[in-house]
Structure 1
Amino acid sequence: MTPPILVEYDGPVLRITFDRPERLNALTTEMLTLAADAVETAGKGTGVRVVVLAGAGRAFSAGADLGGKTLPGVDTIDAANRLTLALREIPQPVLAAVGGPAVGVGCSLALAADVTVARASTYFLLAFVQVGLMPDGGATALLPSAIGRARATRMAMLAERVPAPLAAEWGLITHSVPDDTFDDEVERLTRQLAGGPTAAFARTKHALNASSLPQLRSALAVEREGQADLFTTADFAEGVAAFREKRDPEFSGK
């Protein structure tokens, strides 16, 4: 079977691509684990100087796969947390190339990058509450650090789409670029980072983590505990049923 992600080495560039375009790159535990393996390996002196994370087709990622035979569980949360930490703690810079919607944990992972470049036509969405869940993948730390508690709450509780230009204006992402120049801009920034002062990038990233994300690990633990409880609720069951039946959920609060 074809692996659900592509891992490609291009000189000093490691390109990791979620590769389930027919499912809008809905993420499975396997995909998250394979991506985390690749990122962690790159951080061990392999000659990689920049990591590029992208999605094949018309989406970056639609979030966790709710349409498969097996629903996401704590193992999925653990794999997502591992990837988020790998993206933040690897010394090399990480560039997320968001060519289409970044939804749910896909949004969390896009925001865990150091540089996040998005097509102007796309959007970011924390859709967790639409299926009776809470944000995960580190979103409860990443968002308030970037855009403040009020805007983070708006995204987390109201599940509003944030268009890429507004995301850049808020400081949620670093770049929103016209669709027709997106690929060129991603390549330009990739080469700039790959040719930059690697040791200085590593020290800068470490310092930014220390000052802006000191609670990331504890946030991941809180998210894991909360999500594990929510997986057992009637609202989650209703949210998944509504998602699969393409209708609005009717939550009971239980």
Structure 2
Amino acid sequence: MPDGPVGDPGTRRDAADPVDPVVRLGPRVDESLAVALERLRAERGARVVVLDLGEAEGTWDDVAHRALLARCVRAVLATDLPVVAVLGDRVTTATCAVALACDAVVADRSTSVQIAPPAVGGLSLTLPAAVGRLRARRMLLLGEAVTAVSAADWGVVTHLAPSGSTARARADAVVRALLEADALTLAGTRRVLDADLAARLEEALAHEDRTASLLARHAAR
């Protein structure tokens, strides 16, 4: 195995080299991320996806940006590959929406999560499922910043980097564990676990979009 992080995008390979089983994407939630996620089925030899989630493009009172976010969430759920999200220091509404569609969410202890209404990107489904009905309201309605430790306790973060380590190092350990598992078993289990979310997602996205559009018109008065 080469030195450096698993799936290090800086590692160059010749055509004869084996395909890297780790696809690393990010850090921006933008058009290029949506396209890359939608093309994952064509990634020959890929086994795990790592999303380094940083900034999100645009404002979510804009219909085009909401559609872009919905594309990213749909693509994460549609792939047969396990997806590991690595959070940055500051997690806002859009990056939280993408992260909660993933299979593992890794954070540093310095990370904070602060989201604001309206719910977009399926958050009306995924956030209550992760943290519970009342905590979801606390996060969305009050906009309180949540520490990494609390986010892990509540269910937004699945893996918290230990003191003296980093989210990237913790994510590499998660990736190694996934690479050791049977790919078909992982894909089948993901489909079963995501079946209810996938069945309800489009209705939730449509409801979120109508609400966001209404609130945007109200704010413009």
What residue in structure 1 maps to residue 37 of structure 2? 39
Verify the 8 A CA contact 2:58 2:65 in the aligned structure 1: no
Q: Report if aligned partners of 2:104, 2:157 keep a CA contact under 8 Å in 1.
A: yes
8 Å Cα contact 2:47/2:179 also seen in 1: yes
Identical-pair percentage: 32
Tell me the amino acid that sits aligned with residue 18 of structure 1. P
Q: In 1, Cα distance between the equivalents of 2:125 and 2:196?
A: 12
SS at match of 2:184: helix
* 1:145–1:213 CA contact under 8 A, matched in 2: no
2:149, 2:141 → 1: CA distance?
A: 21
What TM-score, normalized by structure 2, do the two folds share? 0.84
Q: Give the structure 2 partner of residue 208 of structure 1.
A: 193
Alpha-carbon distance change, 168 to 209 in structure 1, aligned in 2, over 3 angstroms: same
Match of 1:139 among 123, 127, 132: 123
For the residue of structure 2 that corresponds to 1:233, the secondary structure is helix
- How does 1:189-204 map onto structure 2 within 5 Å? 189-204=174-189
C-alpha displacement of 1:189: 1.2
Structure 1 portions without partners, runs of 5+ = 1-6, 20-26, 129-133, 238-253
2:79 matches 1:90 = yes
What is the one-letter code of the residue matched to 2:22? V
Structure 1 residue 8 displacement after superposition: 4.4
- Unpaired runs of 5+ in structure 2? 1-7, 12-19
Q: Which moved more, 1:176-185 or 1:217-226?
A: 176-185
Amino acid at match of 1:210: A
1:65 correspondence with 2:65: no
Counterpart in 1 of 2:214?
Answer: 229
* Alignment-mate amino acid for residue 176 of structure 1: L
Deviation, structure 1 residue 210: 1.7
> Do the aligned residues in 2 keep the contact of 1:64 with 1:104 (CA within 8 Å)?
no
1:104 alignment partner, one of 73, 85, 93: 93
The separation in 2 between residues aligned to 1:214 and 1:146, in whole angstroms, is 17
Could you tell me whether the CA contact under 8 Å between 2:61 and 2:213 is conserved in 1? Answer: no
Q: CA deviation at 1:231?
A: 2.2
Cα distance, 1:64–1:227 mapped onto 2, change above 3 Å: farther
CA positional deviation for 1:140: 0.8
2:26 partner SS: strand
Offset at residue 74 of structure 1 (A) = 0.9
Conserved 8 A contact 1:141-1:213: no
Evaluate the alpha carbon distance shift between residue 175 and residue 221 of structure 1 in structure 2; reply closer, same or farther with a 3 A threshold.
Answer: same
Q: Evaluate the alpha carbon distance shift between residue 222 and residue 179 of structure 1 in structure 2; reply closer, same or farther with a 3 A threshold.
A: farther
Residue identity in the other structure for 2:215: L
Q: Does 1:149 align with 2:158?
A: no
- Give the letter aligned to residue 122 of structure 2: G
Partner of 2:14: none
TM-align CA RMSD: 2.3
- 1:77 has 2:66 as partner: yes
